[in-house]
């Protein structure tokens, strides 16, 4: 296992330029009517992707790379929503290039970010897989910008209905479990799966790369 020779995501959280890009990406998404993708989202994804990789593989270097990929994965939205994974990968490469990253580390991050979206992404590496599972699992009330939109917008309604979300790693049974608490008065499971099924399928594929099965537990019941 190689030594970590680059700044960690927690260190990058102090970088004003990186914070600015994250903020701008979220600003443009807000203008387009999307849920919150700012620091509260990418910070959660960074933390969870790092933890997930560490718990499933024990590889510290890859875990730190997953944290960085988590922090930067949505910056491509400063270019546009469409294909933001690809544009984000290239932007992250540029932002990190002069920070002492070796090419091996830079390319891991670039690949992970470039492959984090369902439809175009193929989470074929551990770093990409951890990023995908963390990102697609971040469904939560705090991501809704305005209570008013929950009646018209199914994404806002489903997010608003999720009171608690967490990822658990069961190492003994090799299961990554997404645990959700959903207020079914606001949104039912049919709503959830009608928009999130492709994402859950991607989580399943990604979990396999980490050597795990992906499962869900909703309101205390295993699905
Ligand atoms: Fe994204
Ligand atoms: Fe994201």
The C-alpha atoms of residue 218 and residue 37 are separated, in whole angstroms, by 24
Taking only the tens of pLDDT, the chain with its 223 residues reads: 667 889 999 999 999 999 999 999 999 999 999 999 999 999 999 999 999 999 999 999 999 999 999 999 999 999 999 999 999 999 999 999 989 899 999 999 999 999 999 989 999 999 999 999 999 999 999 999 988 888 888 889 999 999 999 999 999 999 999 999 999 999 988 988 898 999 999 999 999 999 999 999 999 999 9
The C-alpha atoms of residue 152 and residue 75 are separated, in whole angstroms, by 27
3-state DSSP call for residue 100? coil
| Cα–ligand 2 centroid distance for 119 (angstroms) | 14
Which residue is listed with tokens 């984090």?
Answer: 116
The C-alpha atoms of residue 200 and residue 214 are separated, in whole angstroms, by 8
The C-alpha atoms of residue 177 and residue 158 are separated, in whole angstroms, by 19
Determine the pLDDT at residue 166.
95
The number of the ligand nearest the C-alpha atom of 76 reads 1
| Cα–ligand 2 centroid distance for 41 (angstroms) | 7
| Cα–ligand 2 centroid distance for 42 (angstroms) | 6
| Cα–ligand 2 centroid distance for 184 (angstroms) | 24
Q: For 73-92, give one letter per residue: b (16+ CB within 10 A) or e.
A: bbbbbbbebeebbbbbbebb
The C-alpha atoms of residue 54 and residue 223 are separated, in whole angstroms, by 26
| Cα–ligand 1 centroid distance for 172 (angstroms) | 31
What is the tens place of the pLDDT at every residue in 51-99? 999 999 999 999 999 999 999 999 999 999 999 999 999 999 999 998 9
The number of the ligand nearest the C-alpha atom of 85 reads 1
Can you give the residue ranges of every domain in the chain?
Answer: 9-222
| Cα–ligand 1 centroid distance for 119 (angstroms) | 12
This prediction has a pTM of 0.96
CATH architecture of 9-222: Orthogonal Bundle (1.10)
Determine the pLDDT at residue 133.
98
């Amino acid at each position: 296992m190689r030594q970590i020779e680059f700044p960690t995501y927690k260190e990058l959280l102090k970088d004003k330029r990186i914070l600015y890009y994250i903020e701008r990406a979220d600003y443009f998404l807000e203008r387009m009517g999307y849920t919150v993708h700012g620091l509260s989202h990418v910070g959660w994804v960074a933390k969870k992707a790092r933890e997930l990789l560490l718990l499933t593989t024990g590889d510290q270097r890859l875990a730190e790379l997953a944290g960085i990929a988590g922090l930067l994965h949505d910056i491509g939205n400063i270019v546009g929503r469409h294909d933001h994974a690809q544009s984000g990968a290239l932007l992250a490469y540029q932002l990190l290039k002069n920070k002492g990253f070796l090419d091996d580390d830079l390319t891991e991050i670039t690949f992970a970010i470039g492959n984090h979206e369902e439809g175009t992404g193929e989470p074929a590496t551990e770093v990409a897989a951890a990023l995908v599972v963390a990102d697609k699992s971040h469904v939560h009330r705090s991501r809704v910008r305005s209570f008013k939109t929950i009646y018209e917008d199914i994404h806002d309604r489903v997010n608003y209905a999720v009171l608690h979300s967490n990822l658990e790693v069961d190492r003994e049974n090799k299961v990554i479990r997404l645990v959700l608490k959903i207020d079914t008065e606001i949104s039912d499971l049919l709503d959830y799966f009608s928009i999130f099924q492709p994402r859950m399928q991607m989580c399943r594929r990604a979990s396999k790369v980490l050597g795990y099965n992906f499962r869900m537990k909703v309101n205390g019941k295993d699905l």
